[in-house]
Amino acid sequence: MPLFAVINTRGPAYKHGEPMEAQAAWRPHADFMNALVADGFVLLGGPLTEPDVLLIVREESEDAIRARLASDPWHAKGLLTIKSISPWTLRLGKL
């Protein structure tokens, strides 16, 4: 299954200056993301330069990625939005 680099960015509902754990629906978002890791959809993830976050995901298509992330409480509430989705090839190291 292909790999993709997904960059999410903070949406209009994100309260800048507040830690992630203080944002609305933090626990449901964290549980959702942990489930995506457990399912093998998210392979790697972490912050880039604020306000962006990088996810390396394994999925068949960009549409499938968008559909899967639409269920994230933070996407639904406007705390996160997808900035870009790009096909990605692992050249160094291994997953």
CATH number of the domain enclosing 49: 3.30.70.1060
* Residue 95 domain-assigned (yes or no): no
CB-based contacts of 73: which residues, under 8 Å, 6+ apart?
Answer: 25, 28, 29, 32
Containing structural domain, residue 15: 3-88
The tens-digit pLDDT sequence of the chain (95 residues) is 899 999 999 999 999 999 999 999 999 999 999 999 999 999 999 999 989 999 999 999 999 999 999 999 999 999 999 999 999 999 999 98
Query: Quick one: CA dihedral 68, 70, 75, 81, positive or negative?
Result: positive
Strand partners, 8: 53, 82
- The number of distinct structural domains making up the chain is 1
Provide the whole-model pTM.
Answer: 0.94
* Residue 94 domain-assigned (yes or no): no
Please give the structure tokens belonging to residue 19: 């830690």
Return the pLDDT at 18.
Answer: 93
Return the pLDDT at 50.
Answer: 87
Instruction: With beta carbons less than 8 A apart as the criterion, state whether 1 and 56 touch.
Output: no
Helix (H, G, I), strand (E, B) or coil at 78: coil
Helix (H, G, I), strand (E, B) or coil at 24: coil
